[in-house]
Amino acid sequence: MKACVYRAPGAPLEVAEVPDPIAGPGELVVRVKACGICGSDLHAAGRNFRMPPGTILGHEFSGVVETLGDGVEGFERGDPVGEAQRCREVKLVGFGEVPGAYAELMKTRPASVFKMPPGMSFREAATVEPLVVGLHGLHRAGFQAGENCVVMGAGPIGIATMLWARFAGARAIVVSELSEPRRRLALTMGADAAVDPRMHNPAGKVESLTGAGPQVIFECIGAPGAMAEAIAYAQRSSRVVIIGVCTEDDGFAPITAMSKELDMRFSLGMERAEVEMAIAALASGRVATAPMITHTMGIDDLPKAFAALALPTNQSKVMIEF
CA-based torsion, 291, 292, 295, 301: positive or negative: negative
Least distance to its own copies from the beta carbon of 16, Å? 31
**CA–CA separation, 270 vs 139, rounded Å?**
10
| Cβ distance to its own copies smaller for residue 66 or 219 | 219
The packing angle between helices 128-141 and 156-167, to 10°, is 60
Beta carbons of 160 and 131 less than 8 angstroms apart: yes
User: Which phi and psi (to 5°) does residue 51 adopt?
Assistant: -75, 140
Least distance (Å) between residue 113 CB and its own copies? 18
Binding site for its own copies (CB under 8 A): 135, 138-140, 142-146, 164, 167-169, 171, 210-212, 222, 227, 242, 245-255, 257-269, 273-274, 276-277, 280-281
Q: Which CB, 156 or 222, lies closer to its own copies?
A: 222
In the complex, least distance from residue 163 CB atom to its own copies, rounded to whole angstroms: 10
Cβ–Cβ < 8 Å for 149, 143: yes
28/141 with CB nearer its own copies: 141
Rounded to a whole number of angstroms, the minimum distance from the CB of residue 54 to its own copies is 25
Q: Which amino acid is at 104?
A: E
* H or E segment to which residue 118 belongs: none
Shortest Cβ 245–its own copies spacing (Å): 7
Residue 312 C-beta: closest distance to its own copies, Å:
20
CB nearer its own copies, residue 135 or residue 151:
135
If the CB atoms of residues 257 and 319 are measured against its own copies, the closer one turns out to be 257
Neighbours of 201 (CB within 10 A): 16
Give the β-pairing of 60-68 and 80-83.
antiparallel
Residues 110 and 28: beta-carbon distance below 8 Å: yes
User: Which residue, 44 or 101, has its beta carbon nearer to its own copies?
Assistant: 44
Cα 53 from chain centroid (whole Å):
25
Q: Please, which residue, 7 or 43, has the CB nearer to its own copies?
A: 43
Closest approach, Cβ 230 to its own copies, in A, equals 11
Rounded distance, CA 158 to CA 165, Å? 10
- Cβ neighbours of 267 (radius 10 Å): 22
Q: Which amino acid is at 276?
A: E
The count of residues in the chain is: 322
